Amino acid sequence: MRSLILLVLGIAIGAIAAFQVGSVWHQRDAYPRGVMAVMQHHLGALHQEIVGNQCPIVQSALHLDWLQRMAGAIPGALPQYGHDEHFQNFVHRLQGEIRTTQSPPPGECAALEPRIRAIGGACEACHAEYR
């Protein structure tokens, strides 16, 4: 009986410890995931504007501003790649695509679509390499 109680107690303590370690690992990646989630939200919103053929310049500019801010936050969110020149090239490419889209701001959805596709392509290229 004593062995059974010790076995159950050991399993319970092991499960709690595993849960705690998993929680710490999950929280460790919260900032990079947050930056990527915000970028995905704003890129998705721009895509929805295009699909709905409603591209108000003010709203599109707001989403592009957020994309530019978050692209600037990528190196800080992923410091392990700070000295990786290849990674920095991906970040600069993304920032360049966003800048190109921001100036001059397109007034029609048709003009915005290929630019948004180029931003998405820059994201996908980096994710293919580093995800």
Q: What is the pLDDT of residues 70-91, one digit of tens each?
A: 999 999 999 888 889 999 999 9
Q: Which residues of 88-119 are buried (b: 16+ CB within 10 A; e: fewer)?
A: eebbebbbebbeebbeeebeebeebbebbebb
Query: What is the average pLDDT score of the chain?
Result: 87
3-state DSSP assignment of residue 29 = coil
For residue 105, the model assigns a pLDDT of: 57
Burial of 8 (0-12, 13-18, 19+ CB in 10 A): exposed
Q: Is the pLDDT of residue 130 over 60?
A: yes
Distance CA 14, CA 125 (A): 40
Rg (CA), the chain: 22
User: What's the whole-model pTM score?
Assistant: 0.75
Q: Is the pLDDT of residue 48 over 70?
A: yes
| pLDDT confidence band for 29 (50 / 70 / 90) | confident
The third-level CATH classification (topology) of the domain covering 30-130 is Four Helix Bundle (Hemerythrin (Met), subunit A) (1.20.120)
For residue 103, the model assigns a pLDDT of: 64
Q: Is the pLDDT of residue 109 over 80?
A: no
